[in-house]
Amino acid sequence: MSAATMVGLDIGATKVLGVATDGDGRVLAEVLTTTPLGADAVVAAAADVVTELRARTGHRLEGTVGVGIPGIVDVARGAVKHAVNLGVEEEWLPLADLLSVATGAPVVVDNDVNAAALGAAHVTGHQDLVYLSIGTGLAAASILDGRLRRGAHAAAGEIGHISVDPAGRPCRCGQVGCLEIAASGSAVAELWPATDVPPARALFDAAAAGDAKAVRVRDAFAARVADAVRLVALTVDPEVVLLGGGVAQVGEDLRVAVARALAVQATASPFLRSLELPSRLELVPSDVPVAAVGAALLGRVSP
């Protein structure tokens, strides 16, 4: 294995996925474990994944370890805050420093959606895109002319917390009527609860089978996701918008439903029709762990 071998960790609310990749981003080994709660436990679990990757590859993997994690990330410091789903409540957790001590390797840290966007750009070849992550919440990341846009306060892409309904329900961010209340995996789980399969899959299957209520719920959800697509498209006008996150595991049915909603929304607007948003909508590749691959690539793009 060459010195170009890279390690990426995708730390999510339920799992830590680690990959070792070659210099071209091809996955050589994967390790998956459950995400524990609490700062110390998260660091220990991440270090264990690196140890297991070393065992599986038979190499020391002393190059930079890239980490994608939810929350607000200070990339220069390698610190994270507000990763509440991980039980990380410190104002700033120096994750890079702690994990570097635990693994003996240099570490870079970025927001998980940013990492996924980097991975998606690498895998698809698109260098002008918005990655729309539809998971527990709703967030976006932009690769514009080949460059990742983080924002002056590392908050670029937090579109789930744009208030679109001043009379709407309270959001966990402290506002009311935020977009992610209606356009997220949590929204689907509330509207169409399921235990044997993911709620989004259950909803789309029921709609495909002709359940009239499921059709209404699916179409309403797709319309709100279309609102998010239209928002990012009108803001930065990317070449493509990639649908990712847990809900995107529904696959082509999701893309078709959102594309249909975009077309309906453009019916009365020649301007929107001219943007051809339905044709610019794609699914993130399902056969590559783009967030972990993107994390492995962080060493190339992080300050």
Q: What is the pLDDT of residues 208-233, one digit of tens each?
A: 999 999 999 999 999 999 999 999 99
Q: How far is CA 152 from CA 76, 203, 261, in A?
A: 12, 38, 33
Phi then psi for residue 203, to 5 deg, are: -65, -50
The pLDDT of residue 1 is above 70: no
Question: 3-state SS of the chain: helix, strand, coil percent to 5?
Answer: 45, 20, 35
Q: Which residues of 52-75 are buried (b: 16+ CB within 10 A; e: fewer)?
A: bbbeeeebebebbbbbbbbbebbb
Phi then psi for residue 22, to 5 deg, are: -80, 180
Q: Two tokens at 219?
A: 């179409």
User: Could you report the per-residue pLDDT of 244-280, keeping only the tens digit for each?
Assistant: 999 999 999 999 999 999 999 999 999 999 999 999 9
What is the full DSSP assignment across 99-123?
HHHHHSS-EEEEEHHHHHHHHHHHH
* Prediction pTM value: 0.92
